[in-house]
Chains A and B, each alone.
Chain A
Amino acid sequence: MSKAVFIAVAFAIALAVPLAAQSPAAFEQPLLITSAGQSADAQLAAVLAKKAELKADLVKMAGPKDLAGHKTLVLVLGASMKGLGAAGLDTAKEKDRIKGLLAAAKSQSIPVLCLHLGGEARRGELTDAMVAEYLPSARAALVVKSGDKDGLFTRICKEKGIALTEVDRTLDAVEPLKTAFAK
């Protein structure tokens, strides 16, 4: 199958069915997990990946070079002023980093999976801005439902044809992750 056909098929699968129902796997291992906004949720994603028995590396401030050897980029959306401060980043620097990373992933045909794990408490002006900017780059999104009370994720995913899976609780994300990366 040519690369173009493969991408088209993968896109069609992603469009048609939610993440947990995608088979064959929408994504391949190993994963590079990084944060968009430097909240603790990226660490949480790494723990969930471990529970799902996935081969994953967490690099909270990943750059294009970190993509080497990885077949999926997991972008964990969630801004934390505390996290940004601890990382010595301001909003502009963080946005520049993510833009560069997404561009590199696109050029290497590495698909992006967006996660939002922090629920309602992890929404806010900065997180919402990042969701609006980066979620359209994703092939699929996995969201803890309380974070989508106002339908922000649903709306963007619908508009952009992104497969959206919502789970009630953080721990419920393990099974959809397993399925999404199942061989």
Chain B
Amino acid sequence: MKRLAAAVLAAVLAAAGAQNPAPEKPPSPAPADRHVPFNYVGKNGMVVAAHPLAAEAGLAMLQAGGNAVDAAVAAALALNAAEPFASGLGGGGFMVIYLARNKKTTVISFREKAPAAATPSMFADKGEAAEEWKSERGTAVGVPGMPAGWDLALRRYGTKTLAQAAPRAIEIAEKGFPIGATFSAIDKDEYEKVLRNAGEATCYLNQGVPYEPGDIFRNPDLAKTLRRLGEFGIDDFYKGSIAAKIVAAVRAKGGIMTLDDLAAYAAQEVEPLHGTYKGYEILTAPPPATGGLHVIQMLDVLENWPIRAWGPESPAYIHHAAEALRFLFADHSRYMADPDSRPLPLDRLLSKEYARRIAAKVPDGRIAGEYPFSVFDESKDKRENTTHLAVADKEGNIVALTQSINDFFGSGIVPEGTGFLLNDHMRDFDTDPQSPNAPAPGRRPVSSMGPLIMTKEGRPFLALGSPGGLRIFPTLAQIIVNIVDFGMDLDEAIEAPRFFASSGNGKARPLVMETRIPGSVRGDLEKLGHSIALKEDYDKYFGGAQGLLFQWDKGIILGGADSRRDGAGAGY
């Protein structure tokens, strides 16, 4: 029956395409000043996503009887149409699913994989051009996992097919919508890459130049591709005509992907990683996703200090948290790798004793100054990419989904006639052939993503995630602390000023922060030895978090969506 319904729906959709229909108007219930904390409220269900059209697509699926997984995939597909520069069919991600009926949490992992021809030295061999080959050439493209991940989640835990989840995304792609300042600014930033790899005639440019705010963006090729997926299933993507186009596009740009690489791809269902913080349980995607792991580590370290008494934006809190981050970056460089290629010491990294030892190394009155060796270079990591959405349905099922094509506009490569961008997730491998995170056949690059669900006394409390590269885990940890320790409501916690610190080559890197952190606090931090670097008031450098907070006593779900990008919520 499900298959028949899908076929009927696909046929109806195929017949319904119209030439340049009237563009969509995004719903916008949020306040005029988008930075004013605003919680979306729902009783039966809630969707938060990085674009209002995606939130609305997810809500429509919930109201049509779909569950949280169905709605998450509908919203994810809609994001491919409405926020195509951050995620889409050509990428991958991690989905954390909480199933209310048996109180089980599971993870669908659909991270990209290196092609079989990948070698540890494939980027090192390029010398000074390594970064270009990792990000803008065909070798930048990992085997996409997105369709397989969405499909696996729907088959195991959804009630709809991919064809049934896609209509709203198809509609958005066909009708188009007026783009906002975020899309326009990113299009301008990535213009050279898009022009070089997608060409002047691509839909991602407006007559060969970047879109301006208010321009209508349409993507009829994506609509066609989504229809094909509805009609023929994901086999068309991995073994059929779309696969052939992907390989042709990648190889035309110097890549090494083959049809066999695509045919061999499979998404995985894996056990979540567990942690605790002050009586809350944290369930998150395990490596190669590392965001959730580091969130747990960070919170474990913070448990050792009286941060509640110190308060938000206090020099003592920011100093200690920044120092914790500097120590944790060493773990990232030293241990993180695809767990299928080498075992990771997760038990040790996640032990409270290990966290106590890190906390003990942080002096109260100055920065430590010396940190375990880390190869991370903050100055080279400006990435703000990726996207996060979260959904809850009336049964109490929850999804936290982070997905990406890596850099904004990915590799900039669009397989001919498909309308979707291919990722540049091979960039997440280390160039150093000796690194545990060096490229290898079939290996998954380490990811910073960290979708998570927190529970308290067995009931869901918070679903959360963010884009932002290696700022993801510091951002998520700060939001959790804002809620649990500082008593902020959800969106207040999301909008609160953020900071980030790291270490590299054993030395402290600057403490980067939004300008809303008062000058007096910055002055106090400088006296402790921190070098301060300022970003904008609300800077997407620190991510664009989306979350759900469950208030069981009131019978409501709060949705929080980050104003640093175009976050929005929709509930009922």
Contact = CB atoms under 8 A, between A and B. Distances in A.
Contact of A170 (B192, B195, B212, B380): B212
Contact of B188 (A40, A48, A51): A40
A43 B382 contact: no
A85 B208 CA distance: 25
B323 to A, nearest CB: 26
Contacts of A40: 188-192
A121 B184 contact: yes
Interface string A103-133: 0000000000000001101100000000000
Contact of B208 (A47, A86, A169): A47
B102 interface: no
B381 to A, nearest CB: 10
A82 B189 contact: yes
A85 B195 contact: no
Interface string B172-189: 000000000100110011
A166 interface: no
B209 A44 contact: yes
B191 A43 contact: yes
B210 A170 contact: yes
Contacts of B200: 47
A107 to B, nearest CB: 31
B379 interface: yes
Contacts of B191: 40-41, 43-44
A35 B527 CA distance: 39
A80 B210 CA distance: 16
Contacts of A121: 181, 184-185, 188
A171 interface: yes
A43 B212 contact: no
Nearest to B379: A85
B380 A48 contact: no
A121 B189 CA distance: 10
A85 B383 CA distance: 13
B212 A47 contact: no
Interface string A38-80: 0111011001100100000000000000000000000000001
Contacts of A80: 189
A169 B189 contact: no
A9 interface: no
Interface size range of chain A in the complex: 20 to 34
A81 interface: yes
B159 interface: no
Contacts of B209: 44, 47-48, 170-171
Contacts of B212: 119, 169-170
Contacts of A39: 188-189
A80 B191 CA distance: 12
A85 B131 CA distance: 12
A169 B210 CA distance: 10
Interface in B236-275: none
B206 interface: yes
A37 B218 CA distance: 31
Interface in B206-233: 206-210, 212
A122 B191 CA distance: 13
A169 B382 CA distance: 28
Interface string A122-155: 1000000000000000000000000000000000
B382 A85 contact: yes
A39 B188 CA distance: 9
A66 B312 CA distance: 54
Contacts of B131: 86
B379 A43 contact: no
A98 B279 CA distance: 59
Interface string B421-438: 000000000000000000
Nearest to B184: A121
Contacts of A85: 379-380, 382
B305 to A, nearest CB: 34
12 contacts: A40-B188, A40-B189, A40-B190, A40-B191, A48-B209, A51-B208, A85-B380, A119-B188, A119-B212, A121-B188, A170-B212, A171-B207
Interface of A: 39-41, 43-44, 47-48, 51, 80-82, 85-86, 118-119, 121-122, 169-171
Given A119-B184, A119-B188, A121-B188, 5 more contacts: A40-B190, A40-B192, A47-B195, A82-B382, A121-B181
